């Protein structure tokens, strides 16, 4: 039964290689999105506000708060634009503070993010999997007579076997063998056949 499940996951992952390539590029774009959007927001709002206040920085200003043509040796236009930009950034910071301290919405945001993250629900990363496997082996030997404990140990072993078919485990095996130059990255929760298959898949990964 486990072999059929593993094989079906492998076939499905092979059917959709383009989806992962697209999402990898999308992830890379997202890393710069916050900084770029902040620059765009500041620039856009500054240029939208400037027409309403620029007359105060011109020589024709004759009422209310007016500024000279130069401030500290710089054209007052530059000072005005920079001042508006700073106020926009401070306004965004204030909204962020209210979102964090006042409303506390980040708690619900993190909860939803964890629920939607497969590694927070059912997938296991290789480093965490190795720690879990070690704990499981100790539990298996320390409570060998406890039936409930052994049922749990068997479940964890099946869970680890199922996860080991994910590409991230093949990449981890590739790193252990090639980056660490380890000759025997043994995974005791895998059968010899499954471990050989994992090594074979790690050697056929595309090099990035």
How would DSSP label each residue in 164-199?
TTSHHHHHHHHIIIIIS--S----TTS-HHHHHHHH
* Coil, helix or strand at residue 124: coil
Is the pLDDT higher at 207 or at 196?
196
What does the pLDDT average to over 170-177?
A: 93
Arithmetic mean of pLDDT over the chain = 84
Share of the chain above pLDDT 70, in %: 88
Residues 6 or more apart in contact with residue 98 via CB below 8 angstroms: none
pLDDT of 85-136, one tens digit each? 899 889 988 998 898 888 888 888 889 999 999 999 999 999 999 999 999 9
Cα-based distances in Å from 157 to 10, 63, 100, 136, 153: 19, 80, 41, 8, 6
Q: Which helix (H) or strand (E) holds 12?
A: helix 2-15
Return the number of other C-beta atoms located less than 10 Å from residue 89's C-beta.
15
The Cα 148–Cα 188 span in angstroms is: 21
pLDDT at 59 over 80: no
């Amino acid at each position: 039964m486990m072999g059929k499940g593993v094989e079906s996951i492998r076939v499905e992952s092979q059917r959709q290689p383009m989806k992962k390539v697209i999402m990898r590029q999308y992830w890379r774009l997202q890393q710069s999105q916050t900084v770029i959007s902040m620059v765009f927001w500041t620039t856009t709002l500054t240029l939208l506000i400037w027409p309403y206040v620029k007359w105060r920085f011109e020589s024709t200003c004759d009422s209310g708060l007016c500024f000279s043509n130069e401030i500290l040796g710089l054209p007052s236009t530059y000072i005005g634009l920079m001042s508006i930009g700073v106020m926009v950034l401070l306004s965004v910071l204030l909204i962020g503070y209210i979102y964090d301290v006042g409303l506390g919405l980040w708690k619900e945001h993190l909860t939803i993010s964890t629920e939607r993250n497969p590694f927070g629900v059912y997938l296991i990363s290789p480093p965490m999997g190795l720690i879990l496997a070690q704990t499981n082996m100790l539990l298996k030997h320390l409570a060998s007579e406890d039936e409930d404990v052994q049922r749990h140990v068997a479940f964890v072993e099946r869970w680890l076997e199922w996860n080991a078919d994910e590409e991230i485990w093949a990449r981890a095996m590739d790193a252990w063998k090639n980056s660490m130059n380890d000759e025997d990255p043994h995974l005791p929760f895998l059968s010899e056949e499954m471990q050989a298959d994992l090594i074979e898949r790690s050697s056929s990964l595309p090099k990035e």
